[in-house]
């Protein structure tokens, strides 16, 4: 959604359904729709990107000028249709100008790492000066013994990274080489987002709430096993005895 809440950006296969042969994968592009247009059948969305590729994971910039998204448009010719029979592979992060959709800049790619990488789930920082994303550019372990078993996981995306960008000139953000690695673990890290206030502040609010509960309330009374409330809304409980 744009900063004023009047427009919504989303991905869709709507322009490929009627032209794609049966059994062939549908391509996805980005569209913009007014939020006050009523029923979705009468919304008449505007197509933002066009091409035989998959554009996905889109988000509006805080200043309203750009949209960040991941796409397979960077996929080299001759690459297999699917990466490990899972998805097209070769996802990269791009910026597109809302005012001029012909201006598209690749921010972070995967081809230079010589992997069918997945640079996905981009998300702007609140000030618009950084983008956080998930990627397997740091490689994924091939040792099944040391890795957890993700039965229902599409793929292990790897770790969370961030990149600083120029919020004023879109073309200065092309092919940025310097990235910051945020996580380094054996687990699947993906779909990051940016929070706009201190996690420590929220933990303090939760602890105060727990301390203020009546002693007879089984949820609180200074329960020593409730450690904190993080942005996911999950409680960290060492022992379920409260």
Q: Does position 111 have pLDDT exceeding 70, yes or no?
A: no
- Span 22-52, pLDDT tens digits: 888 899 999 999 887 655 666 788 999 999 9
Task: Look at residues 15, 49, 45 and name the one whose alpha carbon lies nearest to residue 32.
Answer: 45
The residues that bridge with 159 in the sheet, in sequence order, are 135
Q: Once rounded to an integer, what is the mean pLDDT over residues 218-238?
A: 43
- Span 56-89, pLDDT tens digits: 999 999 999 999 999 999 888 888 787 767 777 7
**Cα 109 to Cα 107: distance, rounded to the nearest angstrom:** 7
Predicted TM-score (pTM) of this structure: 0.76
The residues that bridge with 204 in the sheet, in sequence order, are none
Contact 94, 159 (CB under 8 A): no
Task: Look at residues 99, 129, 106 and name the one whose alpha carbon lies nearest to residue 32.
Answer: 99
**Cα 37 to Cα 52: distance, rounded to the nearest angstrom:** 28
């Amino acid at each position: 959604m744009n900063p004023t809440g009047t427009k919504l950006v989303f991905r869709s296969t709507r322009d490929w359904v009627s032209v794609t042969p049966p059994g062939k994968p549908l391509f996805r592009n980005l569209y913009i729709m007014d939020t006050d247009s009523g029923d979705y059948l009468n919304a008449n969305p505007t197509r933002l990107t066009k091409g035989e590729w998959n554009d996905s994971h889109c988000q509006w910039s805080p200043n309203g000028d750009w949209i960040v998204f991941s796409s397979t448009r960077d996929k080299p010719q001759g690459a297999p249709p699917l990466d490990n029979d899972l998805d097209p592979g070769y996802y990269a992060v791009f910026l597109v100008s809302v005012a001029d959709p012909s201006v598209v800049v690749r921010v972070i790619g995967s081809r230079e790492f010589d992997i069918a990488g997945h640079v996905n789930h981009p998300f702007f920082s609140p000030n618009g000066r950084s983008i956080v994303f998930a990627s397997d550019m740091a490689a994924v372990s091939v040792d099944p013994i040391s890795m957890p078993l993700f039965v229902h996981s599409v793929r292990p995306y790897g770790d969370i990274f961030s990149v600083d960008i120029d919020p004023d000139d879109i073309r200065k953000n092309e092919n940025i080489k310097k990235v910051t690695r945020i996580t380094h673990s054996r687990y699947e890290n993906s779909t990051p987002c940016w929070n706009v206030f201190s996690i420590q502040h929220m933990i303090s609010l939760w602890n105060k709430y727990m301390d203020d509960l009546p002693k007879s309330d089984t949820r609180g009374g200074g329960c020593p096993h409730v450690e904190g409330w993080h942005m996911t809304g999950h409680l960290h409980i060492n022992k379920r005895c409260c």
